[in-house]
Amino acid sequence: MDKIRIVGGGTLAGTIPISGAKNAALPLMIASLLTADRLTLENVPRLRDVAMLQRILSNHGVDYSLDGKRPGQDHLAGQTIHFSAREIVDTTAPYDLVSQMRASFWVVGPLLARMGEARVSLPGGCAIGSRPVDFFITGLQALGAEIDIDRGYVVARAPGGRLTGSRVVFPKVSVGATHTVMMAAALARGETVIENAAREPEVADLARCLIAMGAEIEGAGTSTIRIQGRDSLHGATHRVLPDRIETGTYAMAVAMTGGDVLLEGTSYDLLATALETLKSAGVDVTSTPAGIRVRRNGNGIQPVDVTTEPFPGFPTDLQAQFMALMSRSQGRSRITETIFENRFMHVAELARLGAHIHLDGQVATVEGVDRLIGAPVMATDLRASVSLVIAGLAAEGETIVSRVYHLDRGFERLEEKLSRCGASIERIGGEGAR
């Protein structure tokens, strides 16, 4: 099993190209189920989760093909994938596939909307919290779906073969449920209004793609989304937006190590709250026509308190990375996690590097230390694993990160991008996993 070896202590300088967003690419791929025409997605990242979803969609009868490399193309550039769901051959998403990636549960919406039925396995638990599917089910029921739970499967039917638009009110913001209901409503009869919808950029990106496919959607990116259902959707070409979590992760790596890095092809607006937080910590962050420039000179890192919130608040997916940064701050900071339970599993591993962190429920108090010392550590989930990389970049000596398959789910060629900017980082112990 692969590991990542880091020798810390250096600064970062250069350019890091930002990949397409995994959290946008996955629902966009699932949207291919809504039309018999071809959907072309550009700037798709090369990740384990993308490859797994391709397999899952194939199970439903979706064909896909990848464009080859072009002359002079940087191999870090995103890939272009063409999806064709001309005929849905199976409306069941089995447990052995859904259990490997929770986002695959979202196929329930498009399958139900297009085929009038779906049988999708419950995704089960998760290392960072249960993340139940109640909101998905109640949202689809509001559109007229008849839903039963049968031996671990959600069995959904649309009376008369078609869903009917309605008002859907989520008691709590859910990105996945917003994606699912929005896709289902695109083929429903009449108007659907989603209240307390997720406002994340990935939701707006999905809406832009659906509109290009012929859907009528207003308000995506706000808490109220209106969808006028269509009898059918057609093919389209859509470019996946830049990955704001990858952007924030590399920004924090520069903040941790010092240096000067251009994060190329991304946008400040995608994560303004997180970048403003970095500024409060003493980091120079500026928007440029080419992307975002992040610099930190020899000045120390200032402690900052943060609370994770739905967009446009501080992202839960950057909480672990920010905790690694605060472990080297010149004082005490408090990090409050409000989105997921059990999302502090990286604390014990950061402590192995010398971080001083005290947990009290969903609040972590971080006492900054003068130095971290390299050690063997183990990744517990995607975001936790990259927090260990950030800490290792600043730690004295060697850090070995195990279970890096978590990283391959969400970060495209991470070690290569960092090494281009001067980091001493390499993958060891086996062949690359992409």
Q: What percent of the chain has pLDDT over 70?
A: 95
Q: What is the mean pLDDT of residues 198-206?
A: 98
Which pLDDT score is estimated for 410? 86
Mean pLDDT for the chain? 93
| pTM higher than 0.85 | yes
Which pLDDT score is estimated for 310? 95
Q: Is residue 186 scored above 50 in pLDDT? A: yes
User: Where do the structural domains in the chain lie, given as residue ranges?
Assistant: 3-18+242-428, 22-239
- Residues contacting 260, CB < 8 A, separation 6+: 12, 13, 254, 293, 294, 295
Which pLDDT score is estimated for 297? 76
Q: What is the mean pLDDT of residues 187-201?
A: 98
Which pLDDT score is estimated for 434? 40
**Is 22 annotated as ligand-binding?**
yes
Vertex 228, ends 237 and 108: CA angle to 5°? 70
Q: Is residue 356 scored above 80 in pLDDT? A: yes
Exposure of 76 in the CB half-sphere (CA atoms within 13 A): 16
Q: What percent of the chain has pLDDT over 90?
A: 85
Which pLDDT score is estimated for 178? 98
Q: CATH number of 3-18+242-428: 3.65.10.10, 1.10.3720.10, 3.30.465.10, 2.60.40.1080?
A: 3.65.10.10
Write the pLDDT tens digit of every residue in 395-425.
Answer: 999 999 998 888 888 899 999 999 999 999 9
Q: Is residue 432 scored above 60 in pLDDT? A: no
Domains 3-18+242-428 and 22-239 share a fold: yes
Q: Is residue 128 scored above 50 in pLDDT? A: no
Write the pLDDT tens digit of every residue in 163-179.
Answer: 999 999 999 999 999 99
Q: Is residue 129 scored above 60 in pLDDT? A: no
Q: Read off φ and ψ for residue 211, nearest 5 degrees.
A: -65, -40
Helix (H, G, I), strand (E, B) or coil at 130: coil
**Is 225 annotated as ligand-binding?**
no
Helix (H, G, I), strand (E, B) or coil at 114: helix
Write the pLDDT tens digit of every residue in 284-317.
Answer: 999 999 999 999 977 899 999 999 999 999 999 9
Residue 51's pLDDT band, with cuts at 50, 70 and 90, is: very high
* Catalytic-residue membership of 126: yes
**Is 174 annotated as ligand-binding?**
yes
Write the pLDDT tens digit of every residue in 30-43.
Answer: 999 999 999 999 99
Q: What is the mean pLDDT of residues 101-114?
A: 95
**Is 226 annotated as ligand-binding?**
no
Which pLDDT score is estimated for 70? 66
**Is 317 annotated as ligand-binding?**
yes
Q: Which amino acid is at 213?
A: M
Which pLDDT score is estimated for 379? 87
CATH 3.65.10.10 is held by the domain 22-239: yes
Catalytic residue among 51, 126, 149, 433: 126
359 near 330, Cβ under 8 Å?
no
**Is 172 annotated as ligand-binding?**
yes
Which pLDDT score is estimated for 265? 97
Q: Is residue 364 scored above 50 in pLDDT? A: yes
- Kindly report the length of the chain: 434
**Is 3 annotated as ligand-binding?**
no
Torsion of the alpha carbons at 402, 403, 408 and 409, rounded to the nearest 10 = -140
Q: Is residue 130 scored above 50 in pLDDT? A: no
Please list the residues that pair with 287 across neighbouring strands: 292
